Chains A and B, each alone.
Chain A
Amino acid sequence: MTDKTLSVSISGLSGIQTVTVSESHDASTAMATINCHGNTKDVGDALDITLGYVGNTGHVFSGYVKKVEKSTPDGLWTISAYDDLIRACDFFIVGPGPNEPFTYRNISAENLIGTVLGMAGLGNFDFDPTYFTFGIENDVEVNLVSSYDYARMISDIIAYGLWCDRTGVIKLKNRKPYPMDGTSQQPGDYPDTPIATITDPIIMSETYGWNEHDLRNKIVVYGEGEISASASKATSLDPLTGTYRQILPAGFFKAAVLASPLIDNASMAQDAAKYNLHMLNKLTYEIPIVVEGNPILEARYTVNVVTTKGGFSGEFYIYQLEHIWGSGGYTTSMVLRM
């Protein structure tokens, strides 16, 4: 491999010692922590991080400073920042009164999410159509809940992903926590294109395993009043072979329950059950892996892994990711999933 000289650029900070940027499929926001000797940033300031190597850097974070600390005697500043969705996490929706919620009728999932995120001052959206409409039979009521929690509840019902990308754009996509091939016949299911190829000469360590921790082969949905639906399957998908096989003991069902008064018609309940069963009824192949740092690597994308030492290969989804930059070198630590 070629030797490299590390490079980092964060406006307002100098003498940067370490940078850590964390992203996760399941996390509400990306998070960055910087240790440095010189700081002009204050809480609430915008913060952008570009790092990598001299001649090969990439923008890995965009967000806001939430915490500033200075430690003595080492004189190090610690700056903590989160992406734009932190505003939705921090914004608590309060109607005119405790019994006077904001109400909506015949509103699509994407418009409802856009509305509650808009209350938090967010407006830079890239939403896919969901074809879910809420408030058909009853008003949708929103009150006394955080903007993010409400938006996330909606996205969970429809089995979509909700996150803020590195440019500050908030996305609502049919983003499943595994490589997608466009064959599910669900809206927004587009085949992934791997953003990088991971090979032995850049892998520092890896662990290969599979588990049924997140497997759910039965989904039960409870909606408003008597509305309910369920979906189940005795066999589960093995993504390595692309076929269904008996993974849990025969006759045994691990169930997940979705309960929300927002589900106010049987068709929506059935779709929610079907979508979530498709997402969850599968074996998870999981690879914690550490590679030489590469700023192009980003959670919620896929990579091709070709490793003779590890004994596995294929397209994997970046479920979690951490860029770790400092005197110990630049590495990217990931949890890959298939």
Chain B
Amino acid sequence: MAWTFDNIRLFVQKLNDTDVQTIARLNPIGGGTTLHFFGWEDTITKVGCMIVGLDDRDAIRSRTRDESFYTFSGPWGEWGDYAIKQAVFELANVTCQTLRPDLDENSPVFNLDLELYHDYP
């Protein structure tokens, strides 16, 4: 099963999750550090991938403005529902693409960096 974001085909190159716990460090004048655990941040997922075609670029772009969560799926099933915090498109130096045989060979290819926020119940 291929990587998709709301059924938009992604060619994922790398994926990383960031988990952060909020911990205050208190340093008294006599003694070692004391930690105060405050809570944690929900996982932030960053995806480095490629997409092909202006339609998919516009589809991703439109999902940065609709305040909604979408299903992110990959080879191991559904990753979860995510909102796009940030999408950075970079036009790749490709003149003849073969990633998407269903599209024209001269379709533009974009390197795309996505920052995704998970929708936890």
A residues apposed to B, CB below 8 Å: 1-6, 53, 199-206, 292, 307-310, 326-331
Contact = CB atoms under 8 A, between A and B. Distances in A.
Contact of A200 (B22, B30, B34, B36): B30
A327 B38 contact: yes
The 3 A-B residue pairs whose C-beta atoms are closest, nearest first, are A200-B30, A329-B24, A201-B31
Contacts of A53: 36
B36 A329 contact: yes
Given A4-B37, A6-B37, A6-B38, A327 B32 contact: no
Contact of B29 (A4, A206, A328, A330): A206
A109 B34 CA distance: 49
Contacts of B30: 199-201, 203, 307-309
Contact of A1 (B22, B31, B38, B39): B31
A206 B38 CA distance: 25
Contacts of A3: 34-37
Contacts of A2: 34
A1 B36 contact: no
A1 B35 CA distance: 9
15 contacts: A1-B28, A1-B33, A4-B35, A4-B37, A201-B28, A201-B30, A201-B31, A203-B28, A203-B29, A327-B22, A327-B24, A327-B38, A327-B39, A329-B36, A331-B26
B93 interface: no
Contacts of A4: 34-37
B38 A329 contact: yes
A304 to B, nearest CB: 16
A204 B26 contact: yes
Interface string B5-38: 0000000000000000010111111111111111
A124 B32 CA distance: 45
A24 to B, nearest CB: 24
Contacts of B22: 327
A290 B29 CA distance: 10
Contacts of B37: 3-6
Candidate in B22, B25, B33 with the most chain A CB atoms within 10 angstroms:
B22
Contacts of B24: 327-330
Contact of B26 (A200, A292, A308): A292
Contacts of B25: 329
Contacts of B29: 200, 203-206, 307, 309-310
B78 to A, nearest CB: 27
Contacts of B38: 6, 326-327, 329
Contacts of A307: 29-30
Contacts of A205: 29
A206 B29 CA distance: 9
Contacts of A206: 29
